[in-house]
Amino acid sequence: DRAEKAGRVGAILRTLFPSLRDEESAALDAAVSRLYDRGPEIPVFSDLLAEVDRGPATERLEALLEPFRSGSLRSVNGPTSVNVETNVVSVDFRGIPEDHLPFHLAYVLDWAYGRLRDRPGPKLLVIDEAHLLVRHGATAEFLDRIVRHVRHFQGGVVVLSQHPDDFLLHPSGRSLLGNLRATFLLRLTHVAPDVRAFFGLTDAEAEWIPRARLPREAGYSEGLLRLGDLHLPIALVASTPEYDFLVRVLASSSASTGPHPAPPTPRL
């Protein structure tokens, strides 16, 4: 759906420009929507710059978007030349400035969301280091939208993070946690009061989580599984056959896919 895609693109761009004024954000969203309404081609950033140039009183917005034309982000102004239809796609974020990282994470996540939506049958999206997305309001909103919509096309999401308190900084992060069917809390160095309150932990649970066992100590992991109002302490133990199976499958997958391609560059 092109209208939905336009909305996601607007959210992605807001991750890069958190200082946008309300009128600038509205002008940007309107420009992106017009490009997708026009179709059928997928627009690139040059098209967006030209569309914004035609709007009234958008001098500051044009200046903010100029890096896509002549600055550090000009490499993403165009369709990708990378084959992303392989079994394994590896994206390397090393060297990306900290203030640009949410933007790059968001468009790669949007690409993964598109693959999930377009492929038939049950699918699972695993998002590691998710706190990097929820630390910023715009990317937290974007991730929350994906979590809420993925079930409409037989998809599920596993969100992994070592920083659950980061999810509580923004309403979208709280909404995301509220939409998860289950939560599994492994050892945390400290259970913050807001984390304890949000997850409804008892005094005993909050005191136990920082002492939960780790594999290097006990050979297995412990954690607290939350399913609605049900809280269960769980030990995760991988049997020898399970371990051998995973090692064999991963080795076979690595050998069959060959070298990983370079990261995809986004279109709008």
Tokens describing residue 52: 């914004």
Classify domain 83-268 at the CATH topology level.
Answer: Rossmann fold (3.40.50)
CA 210/CA 28 separation, integer angstroms:
45
Q: pLDDT digits over 98-144, tens only?
A: 888 888 888 888 888 888 888 888 988 888 888 888 887 778 888 89
Angle between helices 137-149 and 2-16 (to 10 degrees): 150
Report DSSP letters for 182-219, one per residue: -EEE---S---HHHHHHHT--HHHHHHGGG---HHHHS
pLDDT at 211 (0 to 100): 95
Order of strands across the sheet with 221-227?
183-185, 221-227, 230-236
pLDDT at 265 (0 to 100): 46
Phi, psi of 183 (to 5 degrees): -130, 135
Residue numbers in the chain where pLDDT is lower than 70: 57, 253-268
Which amino acid is it at 79?
A: P
pLDDT at 258 (0 to 100): 47
Please report, for the chain, the start and end positions of each structural domain, with discontinuous segments joined by +. Answer: 1-79, 83-268
